[in-house]
Structure 1
Amino acid sequence: MKDLSKLVFLFFLIISCSSEEKGEIKLSRLIHADTELIITTPDFSELQQTLNANAFLNISSSALKKKIQKQLNFLDKLALKREILFTFSNLENQTLTYTISTRKDSSFFQLDSLQDKKVENFNENGVYFKRFTLGNSKFLVTEIGDYYIISNSRDKLTQISKGENLLEYSEFKKVFEARDPAKTSVIFRKDLKLPELDNFLESFGQFNFKNLANWTVLDLDLEDNQFKINGITINSEQKNFQDVLRDQEATPSKNINIIPSSFISFSTVNYSDYQVFDSQRNSYISDSIPSINNLFNFSSEISKTEIPDGTAFSVGLDDLELGIESLTEIAAENLNFRGVSIFRVNDSEEIAQKFKPFFNAENLAYACVINHSAVFSKEISVLENMISANLNSSLLSHQTYFKDFINQLASESSMLILAKTTNFNKAVFNKENSGFEQNSLFAIQFITEDNFTHIHGIFSAESKNSEQIQAVAQSGSIKIEKTISGKFQFFRNHQTGQLDVVVQDKDNMLYLLSNKGSIFWKKQLESKISGSIHEIDLFKNANKQLAFTTSHELQVIDRQGKTVKPFPNKFNDTFTQPLSVFDYDNNRTYRFVLTQHSKVYMLDPNGKSIKGFDFENAKTEIITAPKHIRIGSKDYILVAEKSGKLNILSRQGNIRVPVTESINFSENEWFGHEGKFISTTADHRIIEIDQNGKVSTGTETLAENVRLVSNDENLVYLNENQLHINGATINLDFGLYTDPQIFEVGKNTYVGITDLQTSQVFIFDQDAQLLPGFPVYGTSEINISHANPDTKKELIVKGEDNEILIYEF
């Protein structure tokens, strides 16, 4: 019967995880001694409906489930409406052994409508039973008191009827009495033999139900998209994991707070007194080797975390300072990754020994400290990924779907298994795609108390809230040979429609890289690029080029790394300001604007001087690159001089807006905003000039290092630790910040700023709201664009000195 097979399979997933009946018959009287698995349910017809509605069980499939369906498919033809007790043994065999006990009902064997049936009567040593043949199914039935007993084993029916070889262990009776008669319950023994089960549990660690006690009972609560379990195991006299956790209080998990949101599974063991825990652990595994390290003395938890890149083992530290001091006694700093020290462990075998018997940890050669956890792994890359996830806040504990899920369990545990349900694919369901939602989870929690252990669990087919708070994720990391110098930016690949990355190193080598890190080409330049690189379409055919100036050259390079003729344009004198590129009408008729001291050169797309541009010489040194600003249908060219004169010119280089006042310029550029020209003065005030040349200076004195950026609709400035975005104020922590940046991507406006002291990148929208998932790790100004053919935006920022990080959000 397919519904019962779902229930048995449900138990299998859990394991990878009544008192005697009221009335005259005791159900425990009907259970054979070799029984491995028992299922009781108060209302089988209601259970059938629930099983059919449960998404988790409908999605799931395994060899065990198919075997149960095949052997018990005849139950669909019987009127099973009352309380039922199922027992199973020989589960590892191709043909399992079962018994089914249910109270007599006159409608139970009404099979008159079935054509393909046969009923035979037998007497075996005074025990009467019938053998039913329904199609391809055969089963035996006898009566004991008010119950029918159904089985595929003649010997079991005979022995149960005679009261022989019954399950009468005292531990079993205690567990049986602990079940909730009003719920469906699963009871199983320690020596249950299921190879599939063992393979499934292996990935989480060595602790599981089999290590806890001889018998376990679990009561089930089935819902449409998940099911919950609650039960207990009772300590036996035999050696088991509960001996290690004896007299230990359950505690909250620290290590759960450093799990990357991309995790596969997490298993943890908690304790309140490490000295007692370690003594009992040593006794359990017969370890007499004294510890030479104090790190674990300051801990309350050991854990195993599996991520796509490998496995990490963590120690939750109660005293962080003493824990770090102990770590440095057994490990030497090997490297620094994003401000976090990664250590080389001197004696990895001793550390690995401390995770037994719960986890088999080997070759724990490297370690680091993240928050309140000492993290070990045999691979540096695993630690780097754990560090990156925590710096970027890309953590499971930050996700809404996880918070909703974990709040259904107790906040303190003795042991906990947590994993994504999608990871059942190969281990349990034996197929590539399980059909579960990406954010669906399962968890099993153990809480030890006195001589028994409470068990709570949740298995979810889909999350109620699949939306992640963490809406940003690192999608790539690009490294070049030497330290990055100057600005780096996206460059449109007209062949693929994606964006590549162009960057220069400290030796003036220019790289074009794919957004996956492949090097397209390298080109040696004569000096450092001044300012930004401009993306242009010189031939108006959608084939993009790079335009920039070095100290003496105007360069235009195509995407193959070849110089476009007739460039480069070489000059004898040094350029004193970065290249400006004007495209007045957005028709790709470019103007290259070059500055040498007080002289301005304007060149056409062929590198020739523009005739008709009359402004060639300022009276004093030009202090910023000439700026093109379009307000309405009018073009303005702004040239600021050291003398305090601001020239606002027409396209022809004539004065278009006369500014009579002398301005004490700051280092901030000029921008067009709401029909005016805006910047700040050297005495830290916001200054505006209208299109008639009227100058207005704000009355508020801002910070000495105030930095302003603007466009037509948005005004942003950083005043000490206060970031102002369109009238809203954000109080940032005090730090060392880059200039704020504005990015227009599609219909969205983003404001970016980086704290160089804490290496955190913040992205806000135009309403001054921090985007979900930020801040992330970064050590420079940023660039944002739309690099891939999907709905996500891409952000690039420097990581290490020679590294560019790519984030998607």
Structure 2
Amino acid sequence: MRFFCFALFIVVFSCSKHKTTRTKLNHLIPEHSSVILKASNIESLKSALQNNDFIQKLSKTNSYKTLESKLEALSLLHPKGDLLVCFSNDETDSLQYSVVTKYHKNLFKTDSLANYIEETLTHKNTTITKSNLNNNTFYSAVVDSMFFASSSKKTVDAAFLHVNRNAELEKIYNTTGQNKSLSLIMKSDNAFIKTLFIEDSIPLKNFSNYFAVDADISQDEILINGITKATDSSESLIHVFKNTVPQENQIQNITPSNSDGFMSFTFDDFNAFETNLSKFNKKDSIASSTLFDNIAEIGVIFEDAQRAIALNSIDVIATKDALLSELNIIDTYRQIEIYSFSETELFSNTFYPLITYNSATKYCVLDNFFVFAENMELLQNIIANYQNKTTLSQQSYFKDIKANLSDQSSLLMVVNPSILKSILDKNLQNSSNYNLDKYSASALQFIYDTNFAHVNGIIKKAKTRGYQNSISEEFNIKLDADLLNQPQFVTNHITKQKEIVVQDVNNKLYLISNKGRILWKKQLQGAVLGNIEQIDIYKNGRLQLVFATPNRIYVIDRNGNDVAPFPKKFNDKITQPLSVFDYDKKKNYRLMVTQNKKVFMYNVKANIVNGFTFKSANKTINSQPKHFRMSGKDYLTFKTEDHLYILDRTGKTRVKPKTSVNFSNQAVYLYNNKFTTTTLNGELVSVDTRGNTATQNLNLSDHHHLETTSKTLVTLTDNKLTIKNRTIELDFGNYTPPKIFYLNDKIYVSVTDLQSQKIHLFDSQAKPISNFPVYGNSQISLDNIDKDRNLEFVTKGDSDAIILYQMN
């Protein structure tokens, strides 16, 4: 598992050009490579690795630290597409690596590296660059428009002569997915990962030939999906499941929750399975005990050094008949009879190397399960947990991981933190101490299918279940730099769920999944003004992000790409957030740009809408233009410090207020069918469709905030929050403007005290929502972001982090 960390440290050095003959990255994979990493978005991967709890725990191991130091110089790579990192061991058993990606002129930068030295070499009239950073030496060149770097000059030399046309490797390579956090291609006989299993009797090199898996990495889990394949069915353990059909795994229903885990294997035809296993063990197939004739699943339950064997019978009477000679009762526990068992080596003789245990001297029967063990306490523990319904299958953390696994599998292993660590320690050399206590259950699953097997795996940090009305933190994600604005939700048009967009102080825009995975980052020219909107520019159901920065309008698709002809550049500064209008709900969008006194109306082709006649206000516009529709008529509103403009869609005056006041910079709202805002001295101003104007003294200070829906008015002045004429006195602090959310037929009002870093949430009656306030450093965005009924909200945490909470 440690190789998930390597892509954090990949970099690049100088290069030269060469005549093109190779067309794919995998054509440059060195022949001796035994582990290959593929990343399609290196920036997203770096963030995923930085935020993943499990990988950060592994970063404390000596193996990780050694590799991090050795690969230090590989941290400046900026590929635009897929990137491969290939690992191998040389003749002295030292780690070698190679990097392959498409070359482009901004692939890497070395100017700011104080300890960087480079030297130009030649190889058959082709330039190779020798680079040294902090005493680590690398060699690089451009081979057929692809950048190739390696810690071995011999490997770079060979890249000019060798095209890797390994047909089997290419098939395996092509099974990896696109846009995954990371893909791993691994020969089973490699020098880095020795085993994936509890028992030493199942080394990885004997299990199959190749693994090709995609990893989806989020803050608290790593999901693995892919295949494993073996070319010779008699030499690889995975092929013992050939000509059998995977059955439903049920050993979890009898495994105690206080055990270390279990391994389960299934088949629909024991004779076929036994024949395959005999071929693998290179021994003649002999008739085994009739005990297994009606067994669909065999499991090994682990508890410290003890083992129990569980048989899942599809014909309990027939299986009992096979045990007629083993009916000597030696004890009774909780009314369950425990029998002696004489064939102690039966399981290891029949199922080696899957089972090596040969000390089973006792057994009991629990419904359709026949459980064998040597240790009486282990049998009693299994009986007690089964009767008490405290087995592994009843635990919430097991249910969480089971949701990512198939119900049927040929081979399934589920382990607790101590076993997970012991497996990792077998692969990590000189590892230091690290704690995996919160990884209550991890799983690896193989599902045999013709001549290969599907692979599923999950390593997930268990979460404390939120009790009813509680607030639980779902994730806390760090960005590359401090946040510039508050995070907000946007809609994923594919899943219909919500994702998060946020910008950092380097003007980098992030799209983050509702599981906490950074999907992409995009460099912008300037800070986003106001909220980001979404439009369907092609009218095909696919949504794009649309917004303005001080000198540009952006339209960005789901993958982070600009949608032509955007971004549109402006010489004069844009002074208000971009206003997006869809008058008739037919996706004929209008984009209104505000520049001081002037407004300009554009269509989605970035052309001026000639029919819009309004050109300039009397003074600087101090609020974002808005669109309202009443009684079939459109109203466009914005204001200056002393004038409220209410226009029709062509820019002509539709309503002229019959009085003039000094307006605040608060937005214009439609409240009780009137255009509503506030004055500079805190009075409420309402204008009806005939221009009649009314003011109301709300006792607001000069520094106040207003937000409304059509029927709900909320104000904040100093520490007084008023919701529908009900006033709450908050602690003195520095509060964000209130925000109103209407969800599930209920009004929510939020404010955040930036001084005490507390988020407050109230209902429409000004009553606090249970378990608030909670920690936060910005306004929130509140919505139902996934498929459950619970609401979630996102906020700024530390200066460089966002937090997603769930209201249970």
TM-score range, shorter chain: 0.5 to 0.7
Pair 453,336 (structure 1): closer, same or farther in 2 beyond 3 Å: same
Equivalent position of 2:436 in the other structure = 436
Equivalent position of 2:116 in the other structure = 117
Matches within 5 A, 1:54-203: 54-61=52-59, 62-80=61-79, 82-90=81-89, 95-163=94-162, 167-183=164-180, 184-194=182-192, 197-198=193-194, 201-203=196-198
Return the offset for 1:456: 0.9
- For 1:128 and 1:428, the matched residues in 2 are separated by 42
Pair 284,94 (structure 1): closer, same or farther in 2 beyond 3 Å: closer
Q: Which amino acid aligns with 2:373?
A: S
Pair 425,241 (structure 1): closer, same or farther in 2 beyond 3 Å: closer
- For 1:103 and 1:38, the matched residues in 2 are separated by 16
Return the offset for 1:271: 0.4
Matches within 5 A, 1:334-733: 334-428=330-424, 434-438=434-438, 440-463=440-463, 465=465
Return the offset for 1:348: 1.4
Structure with larger Rg? 1
Equivalent position of 1:235 in the other structure = 230
Q: Which amino acid aligns with 1:85?
A: L
- For 1:169 and 1:58, the matched residues in 2 are separated by 35
Alignment: residue pair count: 450
1:215 aligns with 2:214: no
Return the offset for 1:229: 0.8
1:267 aligns with 2:263: yes
Q: Which amino acid aligns with 2:198?
A: S
Query: CA-to-partner distance for each residue in 1:526-568, whole Å, 9 max, x for gaps?
Result: xxxxxxxxxxxxxxxxxxxxxxxxxxxxxxxxxxxxxxxxxxx
Pair 431,70 (structure 1): closer, same or farther in 2 beyond 3 Å: closer
Q: Which amino acid aligns with 2:94?
A: T
- For 1:367 and 1:263, the matched residues in 2 are separated by 18
Equivalent position of 1:786 in the other structure = none
Query: CA-to-partner distance for each residue in 1:365-396, whole Å, 9 max, x for gaps?
Result: 22222232222223222212212222222211
Q: Which amino acid aligns with 1:224?
A: Q
- For 2:190 and 2:362, the matched residues in 1 are separated by 38
Contact 2:118–2:130 (CA under 8 A) maintained in structure 1: yes
Equivalent position of 1:793 in the other structure = none
Contact 1:304–1:313 (CA under 8 A) maintained in structure 2: yes
Residue among 4, 25, 36 paired with 1:38: 36
Pair 367,23 (structure 1): closer, same or farther in 2 beyond 3 Å: farther
334-343 or 88-97, larger mean C-alpha shift = 88-97
* Sequence identity percentage: 23
Give SS of 2:272's match. Answer: helix
- For 2:166 and 2:327, the matched residues in 1 are separated by 51
Pair 170,462 (structure 1): closer, same or farther in 2 beyond 3 Å: same
Give SS of 1:203's match. Answer: coil
- For 1:136 and 1:44, the matched residues in 2 are separated by 25
410-419 or 52-61, larger mean C-alpha shift = 52-61
Pair 424,63 (structure 1): closer, same or farther in 2 beyond 3 Å: farther
Return the offset for 1:204: 4.3
Return the offset for 1:327: 2.2
Contact 1:35–1:167 (CA under 8 A) maintained in structure 2: no
Return the offset for 1:68: 1.9
Pair 103,175 (structure 1): closer, same or farther in 2 beyond 3 Å: same
Residue among 321, 326, 329 paired with 1:325: 321
Pair 431,87 (structure 1): closer, same or farther in 2 beyond 3 Å: closer
131-140 or 200-209, larger mean C-alpha shift = 200-209
Query: CA-to-partner distance for each residue in 1:442-476, whole Å, 9 max, x for gaps?
Result: 111111111111111111133364899xxxxxxxx
- For 1:307 and 1:330, the matched residues in 2 are separated by 25
Give SS of 2:279's match. Answer: helix
Pair 79,169 (structure 1): closer, same or farther in 2 beyond 3 Å: closer
Contact 1:259–1:396 (CA under 8 A) maintained in structure 2: yes
Q: Which amino acid aligns with 1:74?
A: A
- For 1:340 and 1:354, the matched residues in 2 are separated by 27
Matches within 5 A, 1:19-38: 25-38=23-36
Contact 2:409–2:446 (CA under 8 A) maintained in structure 1: yes
Q: Which amino acid aligns with 2:30?
A: H
Residue among 309, 315, 332 paired with 1:313: 309
Query: CA-to-partner distance for each residue in 1:744-793, whole Å, 9 max, x for gaps?
Result: xxxxxxxxxxxxxxxxxxxxxxxxxxxxxxxxxxxxxxxxxxxxxxxxxx
Return the offset for 1:428: 2.7
Equivalent position of 2:630 in the other structure = none
Q: Which amino acid aligns with 1:136?
A: N
- For 2:246 and 2:146, the matched residues in 1 are separated by 43
Pair 401,206 (structure 1): closer, same or farther in 2 beyond 3 Å: same
Return the offset for 1:23: 11
Equivalent position of 2:685 in the other structure = none
Return the offset for 1:51: 1.1
Contact 1:122–1:130 (CA under 8 A) maintained in structure 2: yes
Query: CA-to-partner distance for each residue in 1:201-226, whole Å, 9 max, x for gaps?
Result: 45246446543421110011111110
Return the offset for 1:76: 2.1
Contact 1:6–1:51 (CA under 8 A) maintained in structure 2: no
Q: Which runs of 5+ in 2 are unaligned?
A: 10-19, 469-808
Q: Which amino acid aligns with 1:250?
A: P
- For 1:226 and 1:6, the matched residues in 2 are separated by 18
Return the offset for 1:35: 0.7
Give SS of 2:328's match. Answer: strand
Contact 1:212–1:233 (CA under 8 A) maintained in structure 2: no
Q: Which amino acid aligns with 1:410?
A: S
- For 2:325 and 2:283, the matched residues in 1 are separated by 23
Return the offset for 1:135: 2.3
Q: Aligned-pair RMSD on alpha carbons?
A: 2.9
Q: Which amino acid aligns with 1:132?
A: S
Contact 1:259–1:386 (CA under 8 A) maintained in structure 2: yes
